[in-house]
């Protein structure tokens, strides 16, 4: 699975806040939505510049990181 071009960090975009690549949507915004019980589909409706593929790849990456940390 390829993760490059998933997250962008650029001082010129939201002062370097990590965003979904190709958007100005902070990664943290997805997690805030999920913490509040807002579905991925509703998140995507709220932020149409983010694709479902980007969300699922990010969640897979996070899962992989946490799985590796448990070992």
Please report, in tens digits, the pLDDT of each residue of the chain (71 residues total): 556 689 999 999 999 999 999 999 999 999 999 999 999 999 999 999 999 999 999 999 999 888 888 77
Report domain extents, the chain: 7-70
Task: Report DSSP state, residue 19.
Answer: E
7-70: CATH, from 3.40.50.300, 1.10.10.10, 2.40.50.140, 3.10.20.30: 1.10.10.10
What pTM does this model have?
Answer: 0.86
Give CA angle at 71 (3, 1), nearest 5°: 20
């Amino acid at each position: 699975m390829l993760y490059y071009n998933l997250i962008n960090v650029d001082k010129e975009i939201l002062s370097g806040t990590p965003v979904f690549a190709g958007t100005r949507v902070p990664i943290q915004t997805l997690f805030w939505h999920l913490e509040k019980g807002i579905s991925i589909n509703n998140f995507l409706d709220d932020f149409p510049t983010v694709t479902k593929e980007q969300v699922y790849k990010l969640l897979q990456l996070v899962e992989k990181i946490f799985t590796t940390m448990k070992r």
